[in-house]
Amino acid sequence: MGVIRTIGIVVLSISFVVFVALFGRLPVFRRTPIAFLHRLLWRHIPNAFISVDERLTGRRVTRSLARTGNYLMNEKHPLILIFFVLLQVVGEFLFIPAAWDRLSINQIAVLPLLIIAPLAFLYLCNTTSSNITSDNHRSAMLAYPYDFALFHPGYFCSTCRFAKPARSKHCSICKACIQKQDHHCIWVNNCVGRNNYLWFNLLLVSTAVLLFYGSYLGYILLDQRLQEHLVPRALTRGSFTAKRWSTRMTWGEYAHAWAWAVAMEWRIGAVMMLAMMCIPLALGFLAYHIYLIWAGMTTNESSKWSDWKEDIADKVVFRAEMAQLRETYPPLPEDVEPLDKDVKWPVGVRAKWWLVRTRDGKQPMRKVSRKAGKREGEGDADGEVRDERWERVSSIAQIENLYDLGFWDNLWDGLFNRG
């Protein structure tokens, strides 16, 4: 029992640390213990280690670790992808031969699909690119309209030298601008974007199903082993109801029985435990991306919306109607700001408001000319006055998410609107 408890604690601890390291920066965890642990893991502990290393070795160890860490975190490498594949394949090689003789035809029949599906979708995620190139740049520009909140026309990527399409983001790991960039996923060694978002979500679904099925098979096989060991058939022969092995057991006795079963069937038990511990992580991924689809945004955009929400709370956000601002700021050239009629997005769904932040929280200014009607002694210099077209935004509810068309339309766009 002690060995099983130790294995469970170690696996759960590793899973929790990985979760904090990868997702502690998500907006949903701001001002929570998860965010604090993320800062502790990535900032405070490394800084303390650097201070000690500087005194002992002149930072030689730190520089060596920094080069390794930079490669692991900021370079496109297949190490995590290989680990992900090996975790599944090794688990299946341990589990299936040990369980094969006790599985029914129906249980065996679904195994090929459940085994192949995650690997196939992982391959498609890895090999399908959403990179913006000179050949597809125009198509990317026409995929989504600018919302004048998160994305504005007229910005160019300093690395790729392209006008930035709406909903795009430059990835320093992929070294390219990504169409509708969601996030860079180290598990698939690729950016999740417009072209592979379908495969990524199917990977999440197929992985969750495989984990559930592996846990289910492991449970029924070990439960059967316990039944045969603790309640031999001879004891219930002639009885109308079969006695369950767990009848009248205390929780301690129940746990010890399962520990014995896992120790006797360690290949099935170890894989079952690993699958059960990974289920919350897989479901968390899947639930979060279902939420993003429902909200009509990407992981990248959710972070931007959180920034807007904090700025609104600080009372530094203003909005103005697009129709009024167009009098002063006409559309940019077509190659930088496509015509509304050319954008492949529902007609009429265009930005109504233009959002800005100000540093001092005061209403934006606009220039006015003093040349006309100037008084004696006044110069010809232009002046600035408050621009009454701008009104303060007091709530995030006053800001419309242009890309939220409702769950089903968001689902269709996210999964099937591919470049």
Separation CA 182–CA 169 (nearest Å)? 9
Query: Is there a catalytic annotation at residue 174?
Result: no
Can you read off the two tokens belonging to residue 385?
């006055």
pTM, two decimals, is 0.82
Q: In whole angstroms, how far apart are CA 143 and each of 112, 118, 166, 221, 419?
A: 38, 29, 8, 51, 8
Range name among 235-244, 268-277, 339-348 with the lowest pLDDT average:
235-244
- Asked if residue 192 and residue 266 are part of one domain, the reply reads yes
Domain that holds residue 202: 78-130+180-296+406-419
Question: Is the pLDDT reported for residue 8 higher than 90?
Answer: no
Q: What confidence score (pLDDT) does residue 234 get? A: 55
Question: Is the pLDDT reported for residue 233 higher than 70?
Answer: no
- Asked if residue 61 and residue 16 are part of one domain, the reply reads yes
Chain segment 175-190, per-residue pLDDT in tens: 999 999 999 998 999 9
CB contact at 8 A, 408 and 293: no
Exposed, middle or buried, 191 (CB in 10 Å: 0-12/13-18/19+)?
A: buried
- Asked if residue 205 and residue 195 are part of one domain, the reply reads yes
In a domain, 383, yes or no: yes
In a domain, 175, yes or no: no
Nearest C-alpha neighbor of 306 from the set 297, 287, 286: 297
Separation CA 307–CA 54 (nearest Å)? 36
Range name among 2-16, 110-124, 174-188, 247-261 with the lowest pLDDT average:
2-16
> Could you tell me which residues are beta bridge partners of residue 259?
none
Question: Is the pLDDT reported for residue 382 higher than 90?
Answer: no
In a domain, 144, yes or no: no
Total count of domains within the chain:
3
- Asked if residue 117 and residue 67 are part of one domain, the reply reads no
Q: Which of 171, 174, 185, 278 is catalytic?
A: 185
- Asked if residue 290 and residue 194 are part of one domain, the reply reads yes
Range name among 3-7, 43-47, 96-100, 409-413 with the lowest pLDDT average:
3-7
- Share of residues in the chain with pLDDT > 70 (%): 91
Question: Is the pLDDT reported for residue 375 higher than 60?
Answer: no
In a domain, 170, yes or no: no
- Comparing 29 with 397, which gets the higher pLDDT? 397
- Asked if residue 208 and residue 87 are part of one domain, the reply reads yes
Can you read off the two tokens belonging to residue 117?
């599906």
Question: Is the pLDDT reported for residue 55 higher than 90?
Answer: no
- Asked if residue 224 and residue 101 are part of one domain, the reply reads yes
Chain segment 279-326, per-residue pLDDT in tens: 988 998 999 999 999 999 999 999 899 899 999 999 999 999 998 888
Segment 121-130 shows an average pLDDT of: 96
Mean pLDDT of the chain: 87
- Asked if residue 371 and residue 255 are part of one domain, the reply reads no
Separation CA 419–CA 166 (nearest Å)? 14
